[in-house]
Amino acid sequence: MENLNEQFSQIYDQYIDKIYRFIYLKVNSEEIAQDITSKVFLKGWQAYQNQGKDIKNPSAFLYQIARNAVIDHYRDKSRSNTVSPEFVAEMADLRTNQHDMAIFNSDVEAVKTAIKSIKPEYQDVVIWYYLDDKPVSEIAEMIDKPAGTVRVMLHRAIQDLKDIIKES
């Protein structure tokens, strides 16, 4: 049991930020993201205790739970486009001057909002490729699609984001 604890603890540390971000970008609320993330890791821990040796890819396993949890969330609640004020406080300050900060926040905000508007499968590939730095091959395996299809999806996702930002 101690061994399982230790192993899942490492998995938790490795993926908590990524899973949270993944969920947050889809639900656009810290509270809801925390709630769903909690459920994801709780479910993951329970599964790991029962069939730990069968989980060969913890990343894919946790992301699958997360995707399903978000779908369940949208089944129960309506989508919200409001921006959580806490979001601004959590962002790391990567810009040095006010002007750059304003532009940075504006662009990021626009993209963050736009991401919620594109197809869920496009959201997934954008997050995994650009934010989690997963290779196309790994993404292809996770969604059971050819690598070429994933590249096309990424291209179309960026195009859609561009169009949405342009219209907004």
Partner 1 sequence: MPKLTQKQVISAVKDLKSIKPNQEWVSLLKSQILTEKAFVRTIPATPVRKVSIFDVLASVMFQRKFAYALAAFVFVITGMFGFAQYTVPGDLLFPVKKISEMKTSPLAIAVMRSDDALKVAKSNKDVYPAIGELKASLADAAKNLVATITADKDSLKTISEEIKKIEENKRQLQTLGIDIGSTQETKELDNALAPLVKSELTDLGETTLTDEQKESLTKAQELYDQGKYSDALEVILTISN
- Interface residues with partner 1 (CB under 8 A) are 5, 8-9, 12-13, 16-17, 20-21, 24-25, 30, 33-34, 37-38, 41-42, 45-47, 49-50, 87, 90-92, 94, 104, 107-108, 110-112, 115, 126, 130-131, 158-159, 161-162, 165-166, 168
| Complex with partner 1: residue 71 or 108, whichever CB lies closer | 108
Using CB atoms within 10 A of its CB, is residue 69 exposed (0-12), middle (13-18) or buried (19+)?
buried
| Complex with partner 1: residue 99 or 166, whichever CB lies closer | 166
| Complex with partner 1: residue 54 or 75, whichever CB lies closer | 54
Nearest to 15 by CA among 135, 143, 131: 131
In angstroms, what is the minimal distance from the CB of 64 to partner 1? 18
In angstroms, what is the minimal distance from the CB of 13 to partner 1? 8
Continuous H helices in 77-135: 85-90, 98-117, 120-126
CA pair distance 59, 23, nearest whole angstrom: 14
| Complex with partner 1: residue 54 or 144, whichever CB lies closer | 54
In angstroms, what is the minimal distance from the CB of 165 to partner 1? 6
- Asked whether the beta carbons of 84 and 35 are under 8 A apart, the reply is no
In angstroms, what is the minimal distance from the CB of 149 to partner 1? 19
* DSSP conformation class of 80: -
* Helix (DSSP H) and strand (DSSP E) numbers for the chain: 8, 0
In angstroms, what is the minimal distance from the CB of 93 to partner 1? 9
Mention every residue, 6+ apart, whose C-beta is less than 8 A from residue 57: none
